[in-house]
Structure 1
Amino acid sequence: MADLRGGDLSRLRQLNSLTAIRALRRAGPLTLSALAERTGLSRPSMKEVTAELMELGWVEEVPPSSGTMGRPARRYRFRADSGHLVGVDIGGHNIRAALSDLDGEILAETRQPVSPDDPLEDRLAAVERAVSGCLALSRTTVEDLWTVAVGTIGVIDPEGRVVYSAAVPAWRDLDLAGELRELFPCQVLIENDSRLAAMAEHRRGVAKGARDVVFLHVGRRMGAGLIIGGKVHRGFGAASGEIVMLPEARWFHAPEHLNTCVSVPEGTPPEDAAGSTLSAARNGDPAALEAVERYVDDLAVGTAAMVLILDPEMVVLGGGFSRSADVLLEPLRRRLERSCMRMPELRASTLGDECVVVGAIDYAVGHLDDQLFTPDRGPLPVTR
């Protein structure tokens, strides 16, 4: 923090500007008086700060509501629409993309089907199509993008390289950030998908406000994300939560119990087999219920290990299978109660299979905040 006692007025203006932006992003639109009250600045100082932020393109005046009587006080808002962010979920079978404004409000979403065995070129082309679909729906262009944040399966190093991926052969030892920078002329961020899913549930979903969370990212493949002390935990080598790699945890092959159930109708596509089993179990089908019990047996082993190590406040069942929480939660609860010294709260995700793409948007917003809206990053740029 700069020492302001020496009269560093430019630094003081910068801090005042950041304070005003934070207030407008949390509670805008606001009048000058309300903004001054929230920031602790005088109204004349806030008027000067607001004028400068309008000149830079970060703030604009909100037109008065129609039918307003008299001369209404001027209100101002943060221009979240001055740029756009994209979040992408690159899964084994689907690629989802979402476009948002700078505050993370999602404006458009698209999806592209893929296969785990697709060659690299086809998967990258599907990513480009998914993002292009969002741009078309929102009537924006690739030049309007500030950041593309991607969640994907595998162990991801800090530079955006996929160090290891068991589910997608073409992903192994891939400089994914470098490949995507060839497609998108903006900043590209890469993170593990289960961590982004945990982040989304912690910021927007059922785990909001919880400080220690185990997020079970369950679907046609298994993963986990950890929230420790209110923050996503990456680990020393960015490989936290990879309990699926432990054979004794029985997570890697656990979905096969649902995929191979005899209750799945003949001709059901492989990607729909598990959903068919869970639906049959909901209707009381004995074979499907037995398959669910075997699946939950395996799910509980790795979950109990993480609960015993971390003693979390909450365990969240998330991912694609969270839509069947009515079938899975109670048998999972019974098994955890037998194994855990203290039973955490067990909840179903409120974001479902959208958790990764939403987490990617939140990741991009957080990165934007760190870059532009923290006191030590220098002057705010002109945005228009």
Structure 2
Amino acid sequence: MADLRGGDLSRLRQLNSLTAIKALRGAGPLTLSALAERTGLSRPSMKEVADELVELGWVEEVRPSPGTMGRPARRYRFRADSGHLVGVDIGAHNVRAALSDLDGEILAETRQPVLPGAPLDERLAALERAISGCLALSRTTVDDLWTISVGTSGVIDVEGRVIYSAAVPAWRDLDLAGRVREMFPCEVLIENDSRLAALAESRRGTAKGVRDMVFLHVGRRMGAAAVIGGTVHRGFGAASGEIVMLPESRWFDAPEHLNGCAVVPEGTPPEDAAGYTLAAARNGDPVALEAVGRYVDDLAVGTAAMVLILDPEVVVLGGGFSRSADVLLPPLRERLERRCMRMPEVRASTLGDECVVVGAIDYAVEHLDRQLFAPDAGPLPLTR
């Protein structure tokens, strides 16, 4: 409950404005009467709040529909289009980017291929092309960007520096936030890609509404993240979920069971090898099924450790391999049942390869909410 000592009317107006914005963001255009009912304010007070928000640029009055008879009631909407956010997923083989409005509705997406061993400047150039492509597709400019949120593998410090990355060694000790700001002069957020993927699944994916979850980020490399009490867990040193660093888990080399399977034809591109094995397993090939079994054996070790520590409601299989959840989930469930005191529900991702870039957008939206729309935030600024 806010402390309004001494009749702090300016603080009260701020809280009323935030309440109105929250109501509009959750429901779309509303009349003054509907806004007053949702916020608990009187209609005259709501009119004052609405007028102030219109003047600040956060809210606008919606024009009546053509052909509307009589004098229609005024309706208002939150101006989610007053600024834009970009989410980026820097992977070993691709850089994905998505542009959204301030509510996180995605308006444009692009993808730039990049080789796993590409030099640092080449990978950063792919990032710049991906973001610029989103701006071009959405017909927006750099001046419209409020925040760029980037997901990448490794341990990231609070300043956006990559401390360590096994998947992209060139990232080590890189001030990634600073390099992105050199390209695009706006706020830049950097976070571990597995944690962003977990955030996406908990906000708009298969684990929406789940408060305790383990996320398995499985593909050509392995990662994991945890959601505890509805919040993605970073850990004291932002190294939570790095099961791959434990040799006994065998996660680092686990994908090689699929990549190096004998059923993969010679000359198959490395990025397609695992998919070929999984497809063969789906068709009942015994060699492919054996390779899948070895892969799941390794996957289950780290997963069981996280389940036994966290006791999650749900385990989500996400990342590129989640497209083959029909092949991977049954043996994973069977191995977890043998190891776990209480078996969680195991689900497949509904976001697939898009989980990181979607999570990056959600991360930017939540950052915006904390900065501008939280009860303890400062006065609402004029929109840009």
The TM-score, its normalising length taken from structure 1, stands at 0.98
Establish whether residue 326 from structure 1 lines up as the match of residue 326 from structure 2: yes
1:70 is displaced (CA, Å) by: 2.6
1:362 is displaced (CA, Å) by: 0.3
Please give the alpha-carbon distance, in whole angstroms, between the structure 2 residues aligned to 1:276 and 1:312: 32
Please give the alpha-carbon distance, in whole angstroms, between the structure 2 residues aligned to 1:2 and 1:219: 46
Please give the alpha-carbon distance, in whole angstroms, between the structure 2 residues aligned to 1:230 and 1:148: 23
Alpha-carbon displacement from aligned partner over 1:58-103 (angstroms, at most 9, x marks no partner) = 0011122234333221110000000000000011111100000000
What is the letter of the counterpart of residue 300 of structure 2?
Answer: A
Partner secondary structure for residue 183 of structure 2: coil
What is the letter of the counterpart of residue 180 of structure 1?
Answer: V
Equivalent residue, structure 1, for 2:73: 73
1:346 is displaced (CA, Å) by: 0.4
Establish whether residue 141 from structure 1 lines up as the match of residue 113 from structure 2: no
Distance 1:308 1:3, change over 3 A: closer
1:377 is displaced (CA, Å) by: 2.2
Equivalent residue, structure 2, for 1:46: 46
**Which blocks of at least 5 consecutive residues in structure 2 are unaligned?**
none
Q: How does 1:124-139 map to 2 (within 5 A)?
A: 124-139=124-139
Please give the alpha-carbon distance, in whole angstroms, between the structure 1 residues aligned to 2:228 and 2:3: 34
1:146 is displaced (CA, Å) by: 0.0
Partner secondary structure for residue 265 of structure 2: coil
Please give the alpha-carbon distance, in whole angstroms, between the structure 2 residues aligned to 1:155 and 1:342: 30
Alpha-carbon displacement from aligned partner over 1:140-198 (angstroms, at most 9, x marks no partner) = 01111000000100001111111111111110111111111111110000000000000
Equivalent residue, structure 1, for 2:283: 283
Please give the alpha-carbon distance, in whole angstroms, between the structure 1 residues aligned to 2:53 and 2:310: 45
Moved more, 6-15 or 324-333: 6-15
Please give the alpha-carbon distance, in whole angstroms, between the structure 2 residues aligned to 1:375 and 1:209: 23
Equivalent residue, structure 1, for 2:162: 162
Equivalent residue, structure 2, for 1:298: 298
Distance 1:73 1:326, change over 3 A: same
Q: Are 1:116 and 1:169, in contact at CA under 8 Å, matched by a contact in 2?
A: no
Partner secondary structure for residue 66 of structure 2: coil
Q: Are 1:2 and 1:11, in contact at CA under 8 Å, matched by a contact in 2?
A: no
Please give the alpha-carbon distance, in whole angstroms, between the structure 1 residues aligned to 2:258 and 2:113: 21
Equivalent residue, structure 2, for 1:381: 381
Please give the alpha-carbon distance, in whole angstroms, between the structure 1 residues aligned to 2:189 and 2:114: 21
Please give the alpha-carbon distance, in whole angstroms, between the structure 2 residues aligned to 1:77 and 1:234: 35
1:211 is displaced (CA, Å) by: 1.2
Equivalent residue, structure 1, for 2:22: 22
Equivalent residue, structure 2, for 1:350: 350
Equivalent residue, structure 2, for 1:309: 309
Please give the alpha-carbon distance, in whole angstroms, between the structure 1 residues aligned to 2:343 and 2:265: 37
Equivalent residue, structure 2, for 1:102: 102
Partner secondary structure for residue 6 of structure 1: coil
1:378 is displaced (CA, Å) by: 1.7
Equivalent residue, structure 1, for 2:64: 64
Please give the alpha-carbon distance, in whole angstroms, between the structure 1 residues aligned to 2:245 and 2:151: 19
Partner secondary structure for residue 275 of structure 1: helix
Equivalent residue, structure 2, for 1:340: 340
Partner secondary structure for residue 182 of structure 1: helix
**Which blocks of at least 5 consecutive residues in structure 1 are unaligned?**
none
Alpha-carbon displacement from aligned partner over 1:344-380 (angstroms, at most 9, x marks no partner) = 0000001101000000000000000111112322211
Equivalent residue, structure 1, for 2:190: 190
Equivalent residue, structure 2, for 1:11: 11
What is the letter of the counterpart of residue 167 of structure 1?
Answer: A
Establish whether residue 210 from structure 1 lines up as the match of residue 210 from structure 2: yes
Distance 1:309 1:4, change over 3 A: closer
Partner secondary structure for residue 254 of structure 2: coil
Q: Are 1:148 and 1:189, in contact at CA under 8 Å, matched by a contact in 2?
A: yes
Please give the alpha-carbon distance, in whole angstroms, between the structure 1 residues aligned to 2:69 and 2:49: 28
Partner secondary structure for residue 343 of structure 1: coil
Establish whether residue 231 from structure 1 lines up as the match of residue 222 from structure 2: no
What is the letter of the counterpart of residue 199 of structure 2?
Answer: M
Please give the alpha-carbon distance, in whole angstroms, between the structure 1 residues aligned to 2:145 and 2:104: 13
1:2 is displaced (CA, Å) by: 6.3
Partner secondary structure for residue 35 of structure 2: helix
What is the letter of the counterpart of residue 218 of structure 1?
Answer: V
Establish whether residue 366 from structure 1 lines up as the match of residue 330 from structure 2: no
Partner secondary structure for residue 305 of structure 1: helix
Alpha-carbon displacement from aligned partner over 1:302-334 (angstroms, at most 9, x marks no partner) = 111111111111100000000000000001011
What is the letter of the counterpart of residue 228 of structure 2?
Answer: I
Partner secondary structure for residue 137 of structure 1: helix
Alpha-carbon displacement from aligned partner over 1:200-226 (angstroms, at most 9, x marks no partner) = 000101111111100000000000010
Please give the alpha-carbon distance, in whole angstroms, between the structure 2 residues aligned to 1:56 and 1:216: 43
Partner secondary structure for residue 376 of structure 1: coil
Please give the alpha-carbon distance, in whole angstroms, between the structure 1 residues aligned to 2:166 and 2:50: 52
1:382 is displaced (CA, Å) by: 1.0
What is the letter of the counterpart of residue 325 of structure 1?
Answer: A
Please give the alpha-carbon distance, in whole angstroms, between the structure 2 residues aligned to 1:184 and 1:5: 43
Equivalent residue, structure 1, for 2:219: 219
Please give the alpha-carbon distance, in whole angstroms, between the structure 1 residues aligned to 2:324 and 2:124: 31
Alpha-carbon displacement from aligned partner over 1:122-156 (angstroms, at most 9, x marks no partner) = 01100000000100100001111000000100001
Q: Are 1:251 and 1:299, in contact at CA under 8 Å, matched by a contact in 2?
A: yes
